[in-house]
């Protein structure tokens, strides 16, 4: 049996976009994909508006905490997805790198976060179809 694919989502603060993407991937793919998220300069907490926006669609991210991006996390992942932040993710041969241009929800209310949440869902659904189809 082949090893399940692993995905690492990276944004600067690991407080909004990458957390929502990780939550969507976990929610939609279940245990078919290993999911990680991290940031180059992690915030103190996950963006409350992002937590609220995800709660509206039945996904609880309230227990998540921002994590620092490590070389090991990149090495352990098959796909590294950066989120429009120009982050310098360490590059390793044989890994796949994607950049999703997404508006930064930092400092915005839940109204501004909803369209970002929905855009991330579409991107995650496309990713699942590619790396972990049923």
Catalytic sites, residue numbers: 11, 85, 89
What Å distances lie between residue 83 and 3, 20, 58, 119, CA to CA?
A: 26, 11, 23, 12
Task: Yes or no: say if 9 and 36 are a contact pair by the CB < 8 Å rule.
Answer: yes
Q: In angstroms, rounded to a whole number, what is the distance separating the alpha carbons of residues 21 and 53?
A: 12
Residue carrying structure tokens 């078919």: 32
Distance CA 40, CA 85 (A): 10
* Alpha-carbon span 87 to 66, nearest angstrom: 16
């Amino acid at each position: 049996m082949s090893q399940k694919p692993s995905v690492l989502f990276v944004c600067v603060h690991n407080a909004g976009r990458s957390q929502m993407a990780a939550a969507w991937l976990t929610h939609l793919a279940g245990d078919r994909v290993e999911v990680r998220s991290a940031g180059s300069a992690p915030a103190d907490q996950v963006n409350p508006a992002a937590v609220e926006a995800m709660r509206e669609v039945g996904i609880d991210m309230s227990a998540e905490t921002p994590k620092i991006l490590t070389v090991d996390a990149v090495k352990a992942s098959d796909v590294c997805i950066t989120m429009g932040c120009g982050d310098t993710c360490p590059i390793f041969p044989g890994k796949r790198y994607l950049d999703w241009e997404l508006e930064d929800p930092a400092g915005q209310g839940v109204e501004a976060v909803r369209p970002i949440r929905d855009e991330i869902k579409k991107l995650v659904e496309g990713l699942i179809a590619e790396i972990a189809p049923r």
